[in-house]
Copies of this chain bind each other. A is one copy, B any other.
Amino acid sequence: MTQKIAILGASGYTGAELVRLIATHPSMEIVALAAERKAGLSMVEVFPHLRHLDLPSLVKIDEIDFTGIDLCFCALPHKTSQQVISALPRDLKIVDLSADFRLRDPEAYAKWYGNAHSAVEMQGEAVYGLTEFYRADIAKARLVAGTGCNAATGQFALRPLIAAGLIDLDDIIMDLKVGVSGAGRSLKENLLHAELSEGSNAYAVGGTHRHLGEFDQEFSAIAGREVKIQFTPHLAPFNRGILATCYVKGDAQAIHNALETAYDDEPFIEVLHFGATPSTHDVRGSNFCHIGVSGDRIAGRAIVTAALDNLTKGSSGQALQNANLMLGLEETAGLMLAPVFP
């Protein structure tokens, strides 16, 4: 049976990535696409690379009849997302790709996002969408909150280590190299090819990046105490990919073992042999995450690196993985596309 799918916010990169993935999904059909400012346009006018697909035209959200729609992806900006979602039918399954339902604590939300949450009652309902760690809850959920792309990468590297008590919780440093598409389709000078290509710089330095809200929430919950990490993202001149380099204090070999054990049965998480390092080149366009562990010349220290594609495993691929679970489909359906290299 084909599941009927709507995508709200279809004119951004994560919206386009959802369409790309669903295009070869065996049991989903896109029946509605919404984009406020581009309503009235065909999808081909907004994304010519989707030309071969027979897709509905873009409409405004309130033009959609949600009767008969099985699941709705929301790829809207945060704040807009909570408003739109709280007005959707109560029995509609929703995967939200925005930041609006990631943080369970309304105060934490207000702190990191600068505005009071307008749908607090739904925050409780929402399940955090890091599939590998919330699988059972996601399968039963009506509303799943997709994780931040950086937050996903870092958690894949560190959750099993925190859970196993293998690393010093007071000294975790995470340095990220982040591809451009993570910034979305926004028109900013620093995202122009002329300004961004051929160099790199740090941003949101010093603990100001919003994804820290997710790390704080999740790592503290696992550890049973407050955990605060240091986190510095760097913009790098590639379109897809996040590479997280995590500096931790603990036994490197034990860390490697813990990660291998944790992800042994996972279809999308690959732990490399000890000492090997992953590359974002090797996961581009796919739903896979590669993780590497190395010891340092200083005893008791380890470097854990994780690479994934921010638009796939970091957002739209994760969203589809969750949707599969929510709809009772095979979790990997439509997601086994091999990475595109070179």
Which chain A residues have a beta carbon within 8 Å of chain B's beta carbons?
13, 16, 19-20, 23-24, 47-53, 171, 173, 175, 177, 180-181, 183, 185, 187-189, 191-203, 205-208, 212, 228, 230, 232, 234, 236-241, 243, 245, 247, 267-268, 270, 275, 277-286, 288, 290, 292, 294-298, 301, 303, 305, 307, 336-342
B193 touches A294 (CB 8 A): no
A305 touches B342 (CB 8 A): no
* The 4 residue pairs across chains A and B that have the minimum distance between CB atoms: A207-B297, A201-B279, A199-B281, A194-B342
- Option from B194, B200, B282 in Cβ contact (under 8 Å) with A279: B200
A205 touches B247 (CB 8 A): no
A-B contact pairs, 15 of them (CB 8 A): A16-B341, A49-B286, A49-B339, A177-B177, A180-B192, A185-B189, A187-B187, A191-B194, A197-B237, A200-B238, A202-B303, A230-B301, A234-B245, A237-B237, A247-B247
Given contacts A238-B199, A336-B24, whether A13 and B277 have CB atoms under 8 Å apart is: no
Which B residues are CB-close (under 8 A) to A275? 205-206
Q: When chains A and B are docked, how far (Å) is the Cα of A13 from the Cα of B281?
A: 14
- Option from B237, B338, B341 in Cβ contact (under 8 Å) with A236: B237
- Output the nearest chain B residue to A241 by Cβ-Cβ distance: B199
Q: When chains A and B are docked, how far (Å) is the Cα of A241 from the Cα of B197?
A: 12
Q: When chains A and B are docked, how far (Å) is the Cα of A208 from the Cα of B298?
A: 11
Q: When chains A and B are docked, how far (Å) is the Cα of A283 from the Cα of B202?
A: 15
Tell me how far the C-beta of A30 lies from the nearest C-beta in chain B, rounded to whole angstroms: 12
Give the number of copies in the complex: 4
Which B residues are CB-close (under 8 A) to A191? 192-194
Given contacts A230-B296, A277-B203, whether A285 and B285 have CB atoms under 8 Å apart is: yes
- Option from B183, B187, B286 in Cβ contact (under 8 Å) with A189: B187
A193 touches B180 (CB 8 A): yes
A13 touches B342 (CB 8 A): yes
Given contacts A185-B192, A198-B239, A200-B238, whether A288 and B52 have CB atoms under 8 Å apart is: yes
Which B residues are CB-close (under 8 A) to A283? 49
Which B residues are CB-close (under 8 A) to A230? 247, 296, 298, 301, 303
Which B residues are CB-close (under 8 A) to A282? 48-49, 51, 199
Given contacts A51-B290, A228-B297, A295-B206, whether A197 and B187 have CB atoms under 8 Å apart is: no
